[in-house]
């Protein structure tokens, strides 16, 4: 049995654990509803999944299930929809795939049912008739932007989730069908904000997607994070629309082989996501329901933002100030999304829900001060994780070539003798020992560059 994890600690327990581990940024998994905590705790301890992977993936799943059914008023009828882009960072086999498979399982099942229904209803139909059939989708993997905006989104007013095993596939796939660099990025920025997106097919056939809701979820090993930041995606703010989940410890996850998840825990999670997806139908994305913020909740949000702004404004380094300001701008908007997502997810666990879901989800939902506090805990985590990812990318970029070459030689299983020959021109025992000492030094200086070798 593994030692107690962070999954369902309260604030005081969490503070003690942070001090014990000497780590300042631990994912606050306790912000989710009390009833779901046994499920989350088992993923954390028995499946050995990082709390950050679990919580970040759960936010993505909830957001995907809600889609455009709800928006939140950030003030003066300035509405924000709830898309979430997530990146699970870490070494290979650290549990990202398992986290997604376990938490997204109810949505994957819905997609599987959609796929079966599509095959059945299109059997024997001509291509022209197939084009007039609605293709229901909640999870998609491989699609270029033209297919997404002309086929998938018009049939799914609620929105969809782009699932990439590796986020590099998503990044590398941008602009493949266009000679204009940044064309696809502009669509994705529209999708993150759910702002109208239009295009023109041949023959002046113009199309408009009123609310292009597309979530993104995937994994990224440390070594490829620099590619996410390439082409000025940090200075434009594109990459900081991602929520970065960093594990508390870089290690291969190891499940307790004799553990079987109790059915009642998985059923509770399944019912919660299914309620959000199926009971919140969307026929017109602009007619969605709305969350508003209690004035007391708005006050603590304003205070949080003032404190963060005051800290950033006091920085002397202009580059650092600009980056942190960019991160804060995106995380500040995410606060609203987190508050609405937490509130709506909580509603699926209410006893009253069993009677009538129309009562459970009102046309206007009020965000309480308690929910806002939980949302701000999430915001604090993702603000710090984005800064940490940016820092490690800069360190990777500044690492000397011999450091990066040594890392890749180690990945290929090269010996210290072979590395010594590369570094010093000789395979002798003297340079083998010297290479070993140098590697230990570099592992301490560039821990994220060496990933799994940092232990």
Q: What does the pLDDT look like over 160-173, one tens digit per residue? A: 999 998 998 898 88
Question: How many angstroms separate the CA atoms of 411 and 48, rounded?
Answer: 24
Residue 246 in tokens: 């960093």
Q: In terms of Cα–Cα distance, which of 267, 271, 259 is closest to 42? A: 259
CA separation, residue 267 to residues 164, 215, 263, 271, 272 (Å) = 26, 24, 6, 6, 8
* Digit-coded pLDDT (tens) for 424-443: 888 889 999 999 999 998 88
**pLDDT at position 20:** 38
Q: In terms of Cα–Cα distance, which of 223, 211, 216 is closest to 239? A: 216
pLDDT > 60? residue 72: yes
Break the chain into its structural domains and give their ranges: 11-397, 400-454
pLDDT mean over 300-310 = 97
* Digit-coded pLDDT (tens) for 166-225: 998 898 888 665 555 447 888 898 899 999 988 776 667 777 888 999 999 999 988 788
Query: Strand, helix or coil at 291?
Result: strand
pLDDT mean over 381-402 = 84
Q: Domain 11-397 classified CATH 3.40.50?
A: yes
Residue 364 in tokens: 């206007």
- Please enumerate in sequence order all residues whose Cβ is within 8 A of that of 149, keeping only pairs 6 or more positions apart, or say none: 187, 197, 199, 207, 209, 212
Question: How many angstroms separate the CA atoms of 309 and 169, rounded?
Answer: 35
What confidence tier does 352 reach under pLDDT thresholds 50, 70, 90?
low
* Digit-coded pLDDT (tens) for 3-27: 444 445 455 544 444 443 334 689 9
* Digit-coded pLDDT (tens) for 172-181: 888 665 555 4
Question: How many angstroms separate the CA atoms of 440 and 421, rounded?
Answer: 17
């Amino acid at each position: 049995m593994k030692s107690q994890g962070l999954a369902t600690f309260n604030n005081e327990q969490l503070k003690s654990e942070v001090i014990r581990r000497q780590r300042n940024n631990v994912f606050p998994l306790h912000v989710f509803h009390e009833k779901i905590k046994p499920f989350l705790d088992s993923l954390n301890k028995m499946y050995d999944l990082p709390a950050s992977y679990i919580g970040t993936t759960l936010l993505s799943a909830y957001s995907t299930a809600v889609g455009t059914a709800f928006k939140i008023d950030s003030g003066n009828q300035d509405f924000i929809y709830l898309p979430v882009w997530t990146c699970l960072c870490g070494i290979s086999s650290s549990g990202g795939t398992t986290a997604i498979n376990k938490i997204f399982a109810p949505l994957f099942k819905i997609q599987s049912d959609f796929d079966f229904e599509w095959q059945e209803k299109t059997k024997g139909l001509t291509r022209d008739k197939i084009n007039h059939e609605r293709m229901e989708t909640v999870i998609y993997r491989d699609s270029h932007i033209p297919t997404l905006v002309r086929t998938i989104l018009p049939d799914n007013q609620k929105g969809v989730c782009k699932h990439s095993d590796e986020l590099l596939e998503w990044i590398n796939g941008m602009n493949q069908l266009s000679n204009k660099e940044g064309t696809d990025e502009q669509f994705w920025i529209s999708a993150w904000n759910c702002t109208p997106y239009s295009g023109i097919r041949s023959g002046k056939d113009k199309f408009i997607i009123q609310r292009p809701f597309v979530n993104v979820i995937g994994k990224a090993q440390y070594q490829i994070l620099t590619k996410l930041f390439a082409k000025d995606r940090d200075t434009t703010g594109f990459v900081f629309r991602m929520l970065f989940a960093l594990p508390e410890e870089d290690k291969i996850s190891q499940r307790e082989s004799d553990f079987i998840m109790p059915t009642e825990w998985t059923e509770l999670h399944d019912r919660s996501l299914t309620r959000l997806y199926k009971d919140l139908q969307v026929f017109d994305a602009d007619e969605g329901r709305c969350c508003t913020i209690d004035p007391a909740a708005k006050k603590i949000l304003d205070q949080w933002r003032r404190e963060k702004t005051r800290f950033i404004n006091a920085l002397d380094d202009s580059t650092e100030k600009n980056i942190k300001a960019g991160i804060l701008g995106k995380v500040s908007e995410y606060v609203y999304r987190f508050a609405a997502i937490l509130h709506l997810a909580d509603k699926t666990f209410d006893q009253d829900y069993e009677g009538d879901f129309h009562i459970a989800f009102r046309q206007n939902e009020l965000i309480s001060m308690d929910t806002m506090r939980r949302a701000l805990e999430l915001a604090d985590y993702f603000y710090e994780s984005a800064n940490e990812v940016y820092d490690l990318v800069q360190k990777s970029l500044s690492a000397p070539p011999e450091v990066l070459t040594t890392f890749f030689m180690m990945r290929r299983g090269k010996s210290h003798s072979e590395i010594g020959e590369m570094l010093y021109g000789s395979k002798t025992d003297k340079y083998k020992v010297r290479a070993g000492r140098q590697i230990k030094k570099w592992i301490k200086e560039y821990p994220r560059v060496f990933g799994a070798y940092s232990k």
